[in-house]
Chains A and B, each alone.
Chain A
């Protein structure tokens, strides 16, 4: 009795999260619906009109990266990962053809000192929670780049989660000065 009540509640919460994510997407990303159809066909997991991926109970939204400066050997990638399930999930491995290694790093600034560290433990996404990979925070760190990234490129990345499994996503590259995904790049403020 109690149980079914609870699961109804959580179903309601899930629906709410889904609805708000969808609504957010509608407003934030609707100008950029021009996602290449080839990209969408290549992904078994989802068929959302814009850059949004579902795998198992996870939802990956707003993936992006910046174009790299000439000769750069590193790059970072960003996205939001939402766990709509009831169990935590962990990001075990990330791979991409553009780099020898891809790791999750955390950037932090304390005082005036900037530090960047690989995560000691796999990135965990709590049930009903959300992890943002964004500038000055968590990011996918592409090291020993095999090629530079130009504005407009779509960089394929394979992410392997403990429970949700494998998902292939694409990170569209915004300009070198971008503070957010291409269509948000002109947003003036962006508090940390």
Chain B
């Protein structure tokens, strides 16, 4: 009798603990990989886009090199320049060992962002960041591959703003999805993730 009570008590204590662990575990995996592991394998794919460094850059050119890629537009006053400058800061913080990581900024506003304007824009940040743009179809394609949402939102004065995913993808040497960084990621965390990406074979 007493034994049964004891077991019941133990169970009563252990159950919430197990539940808590499960929740914490879930949050941990989602924290490091906000896209969710079940989707991860689907992120990424082949592309060939016009590059701010001249000519074209394709996913084939990136074989054997890890890279990070994010999407935005130059007519964005806030999150985009902040992300570009954060990425620059992280790459700088990596130092020479970070030379192996390429950083791609893909415009989801190809109507306004051409190679020349991307080049100008990025020259204010780091020469490590490559700007990519293309035709509407090419951009739609690469966005679909990376599960990036974007949409044009017209404003009253005939202008428009772009809604878009603000996530930064980490891709490994084989062009496979290896994790994410968020646009407000803390520097130490971001640099640690980039180091891990570099270290992965």
Contacts and interface: CB of A to CB of B under 8 A. Distances in A.
Nearest to A140: B77
Contact of B81 (A66, A73, A115, A143): A66
A192 B79 contact: no
Contacts of B79: 107, 109, 114, 135-136
Interface residues of A, number: 31
B79 to A, nearest CB: 5
A114 B124 contact: no
Contact of B124 (A70, A117, A118, A142): A70
Interface residues of B, number: 37
A-B CB proximity, top 10 nearest = A71-B120, A69-B124, A76-B77, A177-B85, A114-B166, A74-B77, A70-B120, A112-B167, A115-B163, A116-B161
B155 interface: yes
The A interface is mostly helix, strand or loop, or mixed, namely strand
A189 interface: yes
Given A116-B76, A135-B79, A177-B82, 10 more contacts: A71-B120, A74-B76, A112-B167, A113-B163, A114-B165, A117-B161, A136-B78, A139-B78, A177-B86, A189-B186
Interface of B: 34, 74-79, 81-82, 84-86, 88-89, 117, 120-125, 149, 153, 155-157, 159, 161, 163-167, 182-184, 186
